[in-house]
């Protein structure tokens, strides 16, 4: 996993018009709602890799 994770949708408005933010690592900005946010890897879950797909949708 050497690639940096890239979001496909803005977590705030759901738009796909995302571009990297100048502040650097994992920082993205949304052109649709003008928000900047940062992705951060928190660590692995202790329960391990799930085999089923997640059941909960991301609420906005
Ligand atoms: Zn947005």
Report the separation in Å between the CA atom of 59 and the middle of ligand 1, taken as the mean of its atom positions: 14
Reported pTM: 0.62
Domain boundaries, the chain: 1-39
Distances in Å between the alpha carbon of 46 and those of 42, 43, 49, 50, 51?
A: 12, 9, 9, 11, 14
Report the separation in Å between the CA atom of 33 and the middle of ligand 1, taken as the mean of its atom positions: 4
Mind listing the pLDDT tens digit for each residue in 14-48? Answer: 999 999 999 988 999 999 999 999 988 899 988 87
| Cβ contacts of 32 within 8 Å, gap of 6 or more | 10, 13, 15, 17
Query: Does the pLDDT at position 1 exceed 50?
Result: no
Per-chain residues with Cβ under 5 A from ion ligand 1: 10, 12-13, 15, 30, 32-33
Query: Does the pLDDT at position 4 exceed 70?
Result: no
Q: Confidence class of residue 9 from pLDDT cuts 50, 70 and 90?
A: very high
Considering only residues 31 and 50, tell me which one the structure prediction assigns the higher pLDDT: 31
Report the separation in Å between the CA atom of 1 and the middle of ligand 1, taken as the mean of its atom positions: 26
């Amino acid at each position: 996993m050497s690639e940096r994770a890239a979001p496909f949708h803005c977590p705030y408005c759901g738009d796909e018009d995302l571009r990297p933010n100048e502040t650097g690592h994992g920082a993205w900005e949304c052109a649709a709602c003008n928000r900047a946010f940062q992705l951060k890897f928190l660590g692995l879950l202790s329960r391990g890799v799930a085999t089923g797909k997640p059941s909960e949708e991301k609420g906005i």
